[in-house]
Structure 1
């Protein structure tokens, strides 16, 4: 793998780590941020119930070689001193963002080369300073089933800047530092990509001891003072140990050591939670019983007992919305059959469907009209005053058309039947009473 490919791979991996970590953090942050009164954190309680900021100091060894190998400009590397400080924000139990400041020296020589010289160089040592931002992922622990983790394994990757001033000795023994065009000493600036892994040991909730290794890839070829004629990039490694301190109240646990599996188990079997679940079951049962009571209809008239003002009505009785029988006006016994035939046709509330009780009247109308082929009848549809005027107008039209359809199907010519929808106009009874509204839901025959 060449350096360019490695750099792109590392950058892509780092972006993926950041995306996953921020997604986890966003999920956590949408939860409640308060711990309970005893100070015990809950896995679904949000990040606010934990201590999340840590500061660390570390010291270790640097080398111009890295564990994955690659081309080096010098035959031998010299282990040198490195040191650093870190500030980390733990966003979730498995992910955090970390700022690192690091300094030290990287050195090497050509002692193993013939004459101790290679490419005109004998040795180099370079002072450097660098700052980076990295994503840190806790990938595993060997104490996952304990109440608190005590050993975490982590990986990290990021990007930043490195400043350095190469110092080197040529084959002739000339000691030189990197110089710009006007001959003055200055620091070189370059992009650097750190990729590493490590293990963290929990001393207590506030303190931890870290061991880690980071390979640092620069974006130029000047770190060792020798810039070759073919494409290459310099790199160095840093192995370190250090202490880390987590800030915050002693009543809050450290998010870095959270064991979500154990905490979830505690929550699922928490006595208070189980009591709440049982109480919820009781409330659901009460609601179900209330619904069943609302649906109960002892006399079968279609009106629930809780709203039935006339309980125990006989089966088949036509009732109003309060469950009371509807009294229809009696037909005039002195009227002729033809007059009885043209009695008003009544309808149920908000309905244009013919009642079966209307069929007898409609059959008399049909017989009379078929026996008198010159008779023309207008069907005036009406509605009671409930609802809007526009709705009642449409409903009255539909009622008139329902009567016309029945008569046409029984043999009356359609041209002899005119329909009008008159809505809630011309009431024949008081719309303020249910009895009156029942009478107003009608179709009248006008000859």
Structure 2
């Protein structure tokens, strides 16, 4: 199938524009340190391309058929990047090559059902220290492969078809890759393919090897985790320069910060010296000279805030508390009349009158009172301890409600631990269930 060159060029331009628009919003890939291990990069990529196959070449080698005809070719490849500027590429290519003589009707057509090659791919853009990642990346490649071809010739009106043949060939070429995104390149390339045979064009004889060319446009996609950069885009020289500049800027910033800190330290030092001068205390009384109105106070003299001696303290007047027999009678009456609801800490109303007298006594003479709650041994220890404490607290709460000072009343529960009679009789247990009042 022959193709018009203008149509092929228009198709290639349309493909580039479509891919560029598709990836215009691709996010920026994260950076890694220079010479980071391979695991920090994406190293695999795939590509597809299509273009023109013909017998022309850029180096002027002789062609047996002097009329150039263009035919559509296509291919796919997988590339493994070994270094930022070097990779290994495995490629498949197919199509057909045709040619003819300008002055007669003799011609040939060679079908290429398949060809496979393994090539070294050298990127020339990753040594530029001025640009961290070039948008245009020239490259060279050269390799070795095998191809299957089926030639047909028409010589002097006689058509001859030859059997399918497999031969080695050497692909070598150059090209440009345009980075339209961090992981997508548009590939424009030209490759000459030297076939290790003189029968590629169907004409046997002659000492020169047959040669055909392939000019193509394609798209290359990087594979792997999109959060990692592509090794083929890495520029170690530029990365080192970028890291050096960042470290230099950081050192400059640190130096400026140290200067600012030193100036601040000097300012603080001056302030401290002024404070030390203000806080000097020649007579050692704890009041700075600046505020000391009595600067010659003798050593170990207690002074006031102005540095002057304090007056000698007077001995405190101790008020002796005297508990009279009448006071004890009031308390004993309250003890005798104190009754609670069965198994509870609720004071019965019959006990209120005598408790009111105790409250009045505490208020009048400012006595202190200790309340000790006791129970018999009926029930669990935990229950009796709680009940004795609650009853003592209930008495305290009642006296406080009548105006007694709560800070002078202490309420403690002892449960069955301090009996005053035997718990084996009802009478003894009744005596053990009590709240003791102690005035002091």
TM-score by length of 2: 0.48
The higher radius of gyration belongs to 2
